[in-house]
Structure 1
Amino acid sequence: MTLNFSAKITVDAKDKTKAIFDSVNTDNEFYPENPVKTKIKLDKKIIISVESEHLPHLRANLNSTLRLIQASNDSIESVKI
């Protein structure tokens, strides 16, 4: 028996949502061999859905994705005039 673990995260960054989505989704698209099934979509908010057979992989993927979102947000904030 194989257990699947999954998580769904929604991020609303107001006016920065599209820019953050573009940044994070690009990273996701260039890592097709990712052992965690990761879907990132934009529908007014960023919706991240992840699924894995291994809980540590799921956790690591979520941590990385959330760190990328935070870094993107911080980068945008640092250049605001």
Structure 2
Amino acid sequence: MIARDRELLARLSQVNSHLGEAVVGLMQDQDGGELPADGVRVLAELLGSMSAALYARAAELTGRVVEPPTRVIIDAEATEIA
């Protein structure tokens, strides 16, 4: 396994080991039963950037040339949900 793959898996392991803590923290920070938007956003950005790194590596492994993964931010607030 190359060093870059080990680093990617180590990062994923860190995210995984702290995900439960983050979820419990969000549950404890609820205001009247509602999740804190900032906490949810931080978690979404963390998971999104991890997902982007995994997709980028998968693309490289299948022969696609990709730029290094960057942080992914999805602005769901700009979208209307019917």
TM class, shorter-chain normalised?
A: 0.3 to 0.5
More strand by share: 1
Q: Considering Cα pairs closer than 8 Å and 6+ residues apart, tell me whether 1 or 2 has the greater RCO.
A: 1
Which is greater in Rg?
2
Q: Which has the higher helix share?
A: 2
**TM-score calculated relative to the size of structure 2:** 0.41
Give the TM-score, by structure 1 length.
0.42
